[in-house]
Structure formats: structure tokens, C-alpha cells
Amino acid sequence: MRFNLWLPSLMQISLLAGGLCASPAALSQEAAPADPSAIRIAYLTQEVEHPPALSNLDEPPADEGLAGATLALADNNSTGRFLKQRFELEAVTVPIDGDPAQALRELAAAGHRLVVLDLPGETPGALARLPEAANLLLFNAGSTDDSLRNALCAPNLLHTAPDRAMLADGLAQYLAVKRWTKWLLIVGTRPEDRLYAAAVKRAAKRFGAEVVEEKTWSEDHDARRTAQAEMPVFTQGKRHDVVIVADEIGDFGDYVMYRTWEPRPVAGTQGLVPTNWHRTHEAWGSAQLQSRFKAAAQRTMLPRDYAAWAAVRAVGEAATRTGSTAAATLTAYIRGPDFALAAFKGVPLSFRSWDGQLRQPVLVAADRSLVSVSPQDGFLHPKTELDTLGHDQPETGCRR
Amino acid sequence: MTTARSLLLAALLAGCAVPALAETIYVSNEKDNSLSIIDGATLTVTETVKVGRRPRGITLSADGKHLYICASDDDTVQVMDLATKKILHNLPSGEDPELFALHPDGKQLFIANEESNVVTVVDVPNRKVAYQVDVGVEPEGMAVSPDGKWAVNTSETTNMVHWIDTEKRAVVDHTLVDARPRYAQFSKDGSRLWVSAEIGGTLSVIDTASRKVAQTIRFKIKGVPQDRIQPVGVKLTDDGRYAFVALGPANHVAVVDAQTFAVKDYLLVGRRVWQLDLSPDQKRLYATNGVSGDVSVIDVDSLKVVKSIKTGRYPWGVAVKG
């Protein structure tokens, strides 16, 4: 019964090669054969209710994630036409009260083997454990939960989204370089804020910083009306070099800046942010990706767009390198030692063998300037400096 | 330390009494919208000329009288008269031109349009677009074979070399190379095509007849992390002796034996070394260093860096006129 109610509201969008990439006359002789076996990629997301936030200047776009997957599909098809490979994307959006597990079962039943999950929290871990998902390759492009890379990891689950530990480590390395090692940590009341704070505390320990004091910003302040009065008093405390905020939905973090008791920079979820993607990033050819995205989506590229882009491009890269359209071949290549994705971050990206996480540089950005890119010089690693960010092999909690 | 080294080298250079050369070196400054003009005899910047926005690739006309300049943010190729240093006119280039190559006939200019996934071929005398060819995502490197039969383009996200048959005016083949191919150059006899892959960290040597990769050259520099080794510009000496490869943020130019494909040496230059050009007599190699904002001068016989010359911000392209 519930299933029947859910089905009609399921939005299904099929984006086919022909509709997406222009194919002017010069290319007609290069056109794909009449009936090529298309490489099918599914994209699964769920509508979410955005909780009310004090800072509500920016409306979150409805297509964050999907727009990235769509651009990557166009990139794959531009390459694919030279190799007679065609890619299709089927995007499924489950409504707020819908069941993503059922949607994934449907996709598996329809023959999908490669699925990008743009879902929050621990949902990707639960979906990966469905019996129907056993033969799928799932890309987590939406959840930064560290648990998915540890206790809830799964052999069929890769992560193109960074985890909180990776982000916090990227920030911590930069703060260590600046020698801003005494941190005042302000945490929101939501569960994900506490997870972010946990990653910050872990990073402090790893890179020689100290959380001198931790405070919780409870929801009974009216920061917008009385921020001038509340924040200075609230940020009084032990001597610190920098204020770190853990406020994932952007409820109060923007009101900390310029209102602290001491003149201190603000970093974390607001202020100086560690992120997998940012509009200020233009090095290593990313200016091209930014403008291609903007032309296609009519807005700037956001972190989930980049994670979904990387997942769909990973499939494209595997198809290019193996010359195959078979999901099993592509899956094996993506997980194998030869996989390397050029993804506008100056170094080739690949998936960690122990937890399926995409190793990637972390951008450290202010609103209108890219401040730095981690790993920072001097944080050494025997294999790749990218593994100084997040959960390295010796410390992984993934037993898959 | 760099200053100390260049001072020392300048002193050495003065002592060695290197013969004065008549060549002139043109350098495009990507973030200054200008062109630095360096006198080859004194190795100093003699003039800085304002050009279009975000100038990147530059190349000389067949007769050496004009300089073609990709003004990427103006979506045009400017034609500069080198005698007067005035912009004569613009060529239609398609969107965001980055690099280009001139056909041996001196009339067809092949331009990579990075943001629109096409190569635009311009009829230079008539200042018209002759035709456009679809290629892969983010076309960048361009080269034309010495016999003029092939124009090749590398696409950075598709990771291929696209072979344009200049008579058929169409792409007829593709060669897959390593990640983010940036630059292509044919050997003097046209039998081989050398292609750098920035993220792959390799140099592919492709056999022109079969259009297959014959050799893949890898680099390793002591004390430099492997993922910093990002090959970009490539220049071959006409005698077939050397291939020089700019290794980007590895801050070195690799010297490859063009016969054995063995890496012979790594020369320390400025930060983020980008593009290269040889003097007409092949005795000097000039390298643009984007981040340190200078040009390194390399003596080809001794394989030594003899001087660094401060230019504008983010020097990108370089062209040497005899």
C-alpha cells in the first residue's frame, strides 16, 4: 500500500546522450552506431525539508548534486562518442516521506548496476546492505558521515563525498601551518553538528592543536536580533587563536564573525571553510569546469555537485580506459590500482582500498578567495600525502 | 636562494662572455594582460606592451613579422605587428582560445577553444573562420605535422589526441593518452608526435603512421613528490637530440634523449614551469615560470640554467624570433 502511494510521486528523468551534447555537422561521420549498448548510471536522491535557519540568505538549490551528475554525463558522452560509447543517466528523486531503499530495489530490478547515492547521514550504509544491492556499485556523493567509512562501510560502497574527518584535517593542517593552534569550539545542537565537532577534535589531536574550550550554541538565543549583544559575551573564555564553529545547516555560524570578544578569525562550517569544492577555486583547469557548470546549471558549482560529478566521471574514466561497457569490468577497474581520475585538483584521485573513500585535496576557502589547498607542505606520508587527510589505513575502523 | 643562484649565474654568464644573440623573446603575461619583450643579447626585458585580456598561447607568423596572441578572455586572437608593436587586427577565434598552431602554409591557424569543445580553423589572410571541428572536452594542445597533412588536438578531460585530416577537414582518428594531455609537438621529420599528460605525469611518444603510443616516458625527481610532476610544455631540438619537458609545479625542466627516450637530466628552474621555446639557432631554451613570474634561460649545449629574467605576473606563452 505504502509502495503504491509512493510510486506516483516518484520523479524520473532520463537524460540521454543526444539531448545533452550538441553534435554539429563535422562530427556526423563519428556518430555512434545505431544500437550501442549504453552504460547506464542511476542517480538517487531524496527531497529534504530544510530546517529553519537564522542565516537564510542563500536558498539551497533543488538540483544540488544532480546538476553535477548531469554535467559529468555530458562530459562522458563527449568522450564516449569517440569510442562508440554512450552513457545514460536515470535520476530518481524520492519524496520526503518516500523510501530510498524501495527506490534502490526498483533501480536494481530495472537492471541498474551503477548508482550514485545523494542521500544524507547513514542511509547509504543501510542501502548498501540490502540484498538487492549486493551486485551494485554504489557511490556515496551526499553523506560526510565518518561512520560510513568505518563501522558502516561496505564492499559495494565508494565515497566521492569527503568525510568530516577529511575536511577537519584539511582545515587543521592549514591552521597548524599558521600556528593558530588554540581553538575555541562552538557547536550547534543538531546531531550532525556534534559529528562535525568530533571530527574537529580528532583533527586537533592529529595535528598538534588544542581545543581549549567547547561551548554549545543553544537555540534559545535570538542571534539575529541580539547578535551584537550575545556573541561578544558568548565568545569570552580561555585564550584562543581561532574560533571554530560546527554548524552544518548554517544556523548561527555566520553571526560569529566580527562579533567575537577577541579579534579572532572564524573557521569551520562558516568563515574559513574546508570543502571538496568552492566557487573560488580556479587552478588546475577548474576555471573551465566552473564555467562549464555555470553555463549548464545557471548557478555556481557546489560541494555535492562536485561529488556527484566525480562519481559519474569515475564511471566514464573506467569506460574510456577499459574500452568496456560491462558494469563488472568498470567496477573492477574503478576499485583497482590503475584507476586515476583527473578532477581539477592538481593530482590524480583514486579510491582508498580500505574504506572506498576517494582521496582528494581539501580546499580551504573564504567566501571570495581560495586561501589554501590541503594537504599542506610538510605533512608527509609514505604513500601519498593525500592520505594525511581523513582515515588512513592503520586507523581505519572498516572491517569489510 | 633563487636570487643568490641567479646572481651567481649572471656573474658566471658575464665571465663566460656568451656571444651576443640577435634574437628577441616574447612572453605573454596571463594575469597582467601584457607582453614582455626580452632582448636576447642582454637578456633583459626591454619593453612591456599592453595586449588583450588573459593572454596565453603566442606564436609567430611564417614570415616572422607578426605575433599571434590568444587573448582568452576577449575570445579573440590578436595580430601584433612586431615592428610597431601595435595590434593590427583581431582574428575570429571562437570562444576562449588557449593554444594554437600555424599550418606550414602560413595561412591556416588551428585554435583550441577550451570552453566549447571545438577546434577553430582560421583563414589568416582573409580573417575568416574556415571551419570548425568537434573534439573532446577541454581542447588544449595543438600541433600541425611538418607536411601539413595532420593537425592534432589534445583534449584535457577526454584524455585523447584527436587527429584532424587537414584535407578532409575532419577528425579521422583518436589516440588515448594519459590524464590531462596538455601539449603536443611533432618531431622535425613528422614521424613522431610527443604529447605531455599533466595529471598522468607522463610523456607519450606516438607513431604518426599508426597513430599508436610507441613509448611512455615517466619522470622521477629526488625530493619531489610524484604527484607534483606535471608535464606541460614540450620542445624538441631539430637535430633529434633532445626533448625538453616543462614539469609544472615540480619546478624542473626534464631533458629527454629523443632517440633512446631515457631521461638524461632535470634542470631546476622557477616555480610552476609552463611553456618552452627554443632560439632559432637551437642554442638556448626559454621557459616561462608562472608562479615565480620569470623566464629561465637554459644553455642547450651545457644543459645549464644560465639566467632568470623577471617578467609580468603569470608568464604563460613564449615565442622566440631570430
Give the Cα separation of A330 and A334 in Å (integer): 6
Tens of pLDDT, residue by residue over A73-121, are 999 999 898 889 999 999 999 999 999 999 999 999 999 999 999 999 9
Mean pLDDT value of segment A344-360: 95
Instruction: Using CB atoms, pick whichever of B117, B157, B179 lies closest to residue A348.
Output: B179
CA distance A69 to A90: 10
Each residue of B210-265: pLDDT tens digit? 999 999 999 999 988 888 899 999 999 999 999 999 999 999 999 999 999 999 99
> Which of chain A's residues have a Cβ under 8 Å away from the Cβ of B176?
320-321
Answer whether A288 touches B (CB < 8 Å). Answer: yes
Nearest residue to B316 (alpha-carbon basis) of B170, B131, B97, B152: B97
The pLDDT tens digits for B37-85 are: 999 999 999 999 999 999 999 999 999 999 999 998 899 999 999 999 9
Nearest to A70 by CA among A341, A295, A280, A335: A295
**Model confidence over A145-163: pLDDT tens digits?**
999 999 999 999 999 999 9
* Neighboring chain B residues of A347 at a CB cutoff of 8 Å: 199, 227
Quickly list H helices, chain A.
2-6, 17-20, 66-80, 100-109, 123-128, 164-178, 191-206, 223-234, 286-297, 303-322, 327-335
The CATH number given to A2-162+278-360 is: 3.40.50.2300
CA distance B199 to chain A (A): 6
Is B157 in contact with A347 (Cβ distance < 8 A)?
A: no
Q: For A271-302, write each residue's pLDDT tens digit.
A: 999 999 999 999 888 988 999 999 999 999 99
With contact defined as beta carbons under 8 Å apart, do A215 and A244 qualify?
A: no
The answer to whether the CB of B29 falls within 8 A of the CB of B35 is yes
d(CA B79, CA A43): 48
A165-273 belongs to CATH 3.40.50.2300: yes
Compute the mean pLDDT over every residue in chain A, rounded to the nearest whole number: 89
pLDDT band with cut points at 50, 70 and 90 for residue A383: confident
Closest A-chain CA to B96: A288
ipTM for the whole complex: 0.74
User: Do B158 and B181 form a contact (C-beta atoms < 8 A)?
Assistant: no
Is B54 an 8 Å CB contact of chain A?
no
- Do the chains contact at A320 and B176, CB–CB below 8 Å? yes
Q: Residue-wise over A381-394: b if at least 16 C-beta within 10 A, else e?
A: eeebbbbbbbbbee
Restricting to B residues 145-204, those with a Cβ less than 8 Å away from any Cβ of A are 155-160, 162, 169-171, 174, 176, 179-180, 198-201
Q: Once rounded to an integer, what is the mean pLDDT over residues A195-203?
A: 98
pLDDT band, very low/low/confident/very high, at A218 (cuts 50, 70, 90): confident
Q: How confident is the model at residue B22 (pLDDT cuts 50, 70, 90)?
A: confident
**How far is the alpha carbon of A346 from chain B, nearest alpha carbon, in Å?**
7
User: How far is A22 from B79, CA to CA, in rounded Å?
Assistant: 31
Instruction: Give residue for cell 530495489.
Output: A105
B8 vs A383, more confident: A383
Chain A contact set for B201 (CB, 8 A): 348
Q: Which of 78-107 (A) contact B at CB < 8 A?
A: 78-79, 82-83
pLDDT value of residue A89: 97
What is the rounded CA–CA span in Å between residue A3 and residue A11? 14
- Hey, are the CB atoms on A30 and B171 less than 8 Å from each other? yes
Q: Is A289 helix (H, G, I), strand (E, B) or coil?
A: helix
Contact B44, B308 (CB under 8 A): no
**Which of A155, A37, A44 has its CA nearest to residue A108?**
A44
Chain B CB contacts of A83 under 8 Å are: 174
> Cβ of B114 and A79 within 8 Å?
no
CB-nearest to B138 from A285, A321, A385 is A285
Is the four-CA dihedral A366, A369, A370, A372 of positive or negative sign? negative
Greater confidence, A343 or A31?
A343
Residues in B touching A29 (Cβ below 8 Å):
170
- Residues of chain A neighbouring B110 (CB-CB closer than 8 A): none
pLDDT for A300 equals 97
Mutate to test the interface with B, among A73, A84, A284 (most CBs of B within 10 A): A284
For residue range B171-187, list pLDDT tens digits in order. 999 999 999 999 999 99
Contacts of B227 in chain A (CB under 8 A): 346-348, 384-385
A23: nearest CA partner in chain B: B134
CA distance B204 to B194: 6
CATH topology of A2-162+278-360 equal to that of A165-273? yes
Cα separation, B119 vs B112, whole angstroms: 5
| Tens of pLDDT, residues B189-211 | 999 999 999 999 999 999 999 99
The band of A225, judged by pLDDT with boundaries at 50, 70 and 90, is: low
pLDDT grade, residue A366 (50/70/90)? Answer: very high
- Distance, CA of B321 to CA of A368 (rounded, Å): 41
H/E stretch holding B11 reads: helix B2-16
pLDDT recorded at residue A50 = 80
B285 contacts chain A (CB < 8 A) = no
Comparing A257-266, A308-317, B90-99, B105-114, which segment has the lowest mean pLDDT?
B90-99
**pLDDT at residue A283, rounded to an integer:** 87
Residue B107 has pLDDT above 60, yes or no: yes
Q: What is the pTM of this model?
A: 0.83
B261 at A interface, C-beta within 8 A: no
Confidence of residue A222 (pLDDT cuts 50, 70, 90): low
What percent of chain B lies above the pLDDT cut of 70? 93
pLDDT tens readout for residues B263-287: 999 999 999 999 999 999 999 999 9
What are the cell numbers at A377?
A: 607542505
Q: How confident is the model at residue A7 (pLDDT cuts 50, 70, 90)?
A: very low
pLDDT at A1 over 70: no
Q: Give domain limits for chain A.
A: 2-162+278-360, 165-273
Residue A224: band (very low, low, confident or very high) from pLDDT cuts 50, 70, 90: low
The verdict on A291 touching B (C-beta cutoff 8 Å) is yes
CA angle in degrees (0–180, nearest 5) for A233-A239-A243: 65
Percent of all residues in chain A with a pLDDT value above 90, rounded to a whole number: 76
Minimal Cα–Cα distance from B62 to chain A, Å? 28
What pLDDT is attached to residue A223?
59
Among B115, B136, B158, whose Cβ lies nearest the Cβ of A288?
A: B115
Grid coordinates 601595435 are at which residue? B86
Distance CA A165, CA A147 (A): 10
